[in-house]
Amino acid sequence: MVSPIRFSGLASGMDTESMIKDLMKAQRAPLNKLLQKKQLEEWKRDGYREANALLLEFRNVMLDMKLEGTYLKSKVSSSNEAVVSAKTITPGTNTSAQFTVTQLAQKSGTISTSTLSSSLSDKIDPNAKLEDIKDKFNGGASITSTSFKLEVYQADGTVKTSDEISINPSVDSLNDVIKKVNDAGLGVTMVYDSSTDKVLLNTNHTGDRASAPEIKILNGNDTPGNAFLNDVLKLQDADSGKNAKFTYNGVEMVQASNTLKINGMEYTIKDVGSASVTSSADTDAIFDSIKKFVEKYNDIIKVMNTKTHEKLYRDFTPLLEEQKTEMTEKQVEMWEEKAKSGLFRSDPILTSVLGELRRSLSTPVAGVKDTKFDTLSEIGITTGLYNENGKLYIDEKKLRDAINQNGSKVMELFTKKPDATSTGEAKIKESGIAVRMYDNLLVAMDRITEKAGSSAALKDNSLISKSINSIEQDIKQWEGRIKTIENRYWRQFTAMERAIQQANSQSGWLVQQFGGGQ
């Protein structure tokens, strides 16, 4: 579209462009109000989303706080880790154990009685075909096609015999034979140790099965012994393993494994000797979890209270782009700080969130086993002065004493679940503080998302988004109107300029006709 020709005071001498610009200021007033309204809505949307991000962080903290494991953390120590180490398998286990170890449990096994290679400077290649390296084996043993079986006592005391394991020297290498043994499902492991030039064959379990040998070598026809295993690999039947022998709190114990699970603990015996092991509540870890909850809560209410109590500066409206060009960056920043202030003053959603959070903390937990531990104040967490708007304070000594002396009651205060049939107010009262807080945060975040949407959402159907979309449509319509009005002004002034120019031309012609030029 070709723009119309505009005459800017060439004939009249007037500053037409400035005059039209001044005339348009009045016409743009409704559009400017829409632009400012849109900016306010965008600021409010962003403010709600910032609040929701804080609530999400707090909700994640409350997720941990509602889990019993948070309050059942234990600290385990051993006087001699080289003899016995331990860990808790049941959270919150408090125990003390004394160990004296006289024998470790060992696997049943056999090892080559001599090196496999004739020369250690020219060892066998375990990946080469047996036929190709037969002359390198110690003693010049004959290697022919054969088959063997292994009879192995299992960890449960039963006996398992493998299927025939065949050897074809023209196809198989030593590593192929080893793989066949390990894949036979016998609960044994065979390896070739190149550093010692020997083969090791062990059971995967420890302990004495009261039968010897625990690994028996058989020919494919079930007769004892096998030329390849006995003569080439220098292996013999394996004797029984050994049981662990120790005393636990003065009680003599014998077992096939070096691991003992008892009274919520798992002990691992490592060497002969003595050790004392203790497990107790990890007061520091539990205290730190509760402290983190208090600190995050205080952060939340500080931000929320600041937003809902900010002063409103009605004279500071959002700046238009042309206004920003006339100001420094610092001036724009200071102006917008005041323009944003008070956007959430007495905001019904945020004040409601604050109220629910405070109620979650202050309402006693109904149905706890000990009513002396149904509020936070009874474990050393109290609110400050009225003008601090619900800020929490921790009496460290009182809280640590509560954790040490009444850990299960502290846990119930936070984690108690309501009766399955309870609803409404009854459900809230029966819920532990962390449980009810977590549930309230979910509701609060849903309300804010409904109002302001989420930056992570693919589609935003929030109330503020709909409002912004509506304002943008109005802005588009007004921009069209203003363009039309501006073009009309230019047409009118252009017509005036043309008329003046024509009049000037006629006047000049008349002057010439009457000899005005002589």
Summarize the chain as % helix, strand, coil (round to 5): 45, 20, 35
Calculated CA dihedral for residues 242, 243, 247, 248, nearest 10 degrees: 140
Q: Does an H or E element contain 189, and which?
A: strand 188-193
Q: Which two tokens stand for residue 399?
A: 């809280």
Burial classification of residue 268, based on how many CB atoms lie within 10 Å of its CB (0-12 exposed, 13-18 middle, 19 or more buried): middle
Residue 152: per-residue pLDDT: 94
| The pLDDT of residue 509 | 66
Q: Do residues 62 and 80 lie in contact, with contact meaning Cβ atoms separated by under 8 Å? A: no
Place of tokens 């096994």: 109
H-helix or E-strand spanning residue 393: strand 392-394
Q: Listing from the earlier edge strand, what are the strands of the sheet with 107-111? A: 107-111, 198-206, 188-193
Residues with Cβ within 8 Å of 330's Cβ and at least 6 positions away in sequence, in order, are none
- Omega prior to 4 cis, within 30 of 0: no
Q: Is 129 helix (H, G, I), strand (E, B) or coil?
A: strand
Backbone angles phi, psi at 432, to 5 degrees: -65, 160
Report the C-alpha dihedral over residues 503, 505, 506, 509, rounded to 10 degrees: 160
Question: For position 3, what pLDDT does the model report?
Answer: 52
For residue 41, the 8-state DSSP code is H
What is the spatial distance between Cα 3 and Cα 407, in angstroms, rounded to a whole number?
A: 82
Find how far residue 445's CA is from the centre of its chain: 19
pLDDT tens string for the chain (518 positions)? 445 555 555 555 566 667 667 766 777 888 889 999 999 999 999 999 999 999 999 999 999 999 999 998 889 999 999 999 999 888 777 899 999 999 999 999 999 999 999 998 999 999 999 999 999 998 766 788 999 999 999 988 899 999 999 999 999 999 999 999 999 999 999 999 999 999 999 999 999 877 678 999 999 999 999 999 999 999 999 988 999 999 999 999 999 999 999 998 999 999 999 999 999 889 999 999 999 999 999 999 999 999 999 999 999 999 999 899 999 999 999 999 999 999 999 999 999 999 999 999 999 999 999 999 999 999 999 998 888 888 999 999 999 999 988 999 999 999 999 999 999 999 999 999 999 999 999 999 999 999 999 877 778 889 999 999 999 999 898 888 888 877 777 777 677 767 777 777 767 666 676 665 44
Residues 6+ apart with CB under 8 A from 39: 318
**Rounded to an integer, what distance in angstroms lies between the CA atom of residue 447 and that of residue 451?**
6
What is the number of other CB atoms lying within 10 angstroms of the CB of residue 339? 20
Distance CA 448, CA 28 (A): 34
Q: Give the pLDDT confidence score for residue 13 in this predicted structure.
A: 54
Cβ proximity of 214 and 108 under 8 Å: yes
Q: Distance (Å, rounded) from C-alpha 43 to C-alpha 37?
A: 10
For residues 283 and 287, give the distance between their C-alpha atoms in angstroms, rounded to a whole number. Answer: 6
**How far is the C-alpha of 438 from the C-alpha of 415, rounded, in Å?**
11
Residues 6+ positions from 12 with CB-CB distance below 8 Å: 496, 497, 500
Handedness of CA 363, 368, 374, 379 (dihedral sign): negative
Q: In one letter, which amino acid is 117?
A: S
What is the pLDDT, as a whole number, of residue 186? 95
- Measured CA distances, 160 to 163, 179, 213, 257, 373 (Å): 10, 18, 13, 20, 59
State how far Cα 63 lies from the chain centre. Answer: 12
Query: What is the spatial distance between Cα 353 and Cα 307, in angstroms, rounded to a whole number?
Result: 12
